[in-house]
Amino acid sequence: MDNERVILAIGRLERALSRIETSATAQKTDIDPALAARHEALKEEMKQAIRTIDGLIERQEN
């Protein structure tokens, strides 16, 4: 059951990141450079969080 909660949380994170990416791409011409930098930093943090979660799941399964 815990794995199901983690999988659902990852799905929500991926959908949110996708919405952010879509919005950022659509508004590329008006993006504030500071906001773009914050967006990239957040994206990298999310990727790292997902890698960490994947590692935790893998260890739990083994």
Confidence (pLDDT) at 28: 61
* Nearest-angstrom CA–CA distance, 17 and 37: 15
pLDDT at position 27: 62
Could you state, in order of their start, the residue ranges of all structural domains in the chain? 2-61
| pLDDT per position as a tens digit, 3-46 | 788 788 888 888 888 887 787 666 666 677 888 788 889 888 98
Asked if the model's pLDDT at residue 1 lies above 60, the reply is: no
CA angle at 17 for the pair 25 and 62, rounded to the nearest 5°: 145
User: Would you say the pTM of this structure is higher than 0.85?
Assistant: no
Q: What pLDDT score does 54 carry?
A: 85
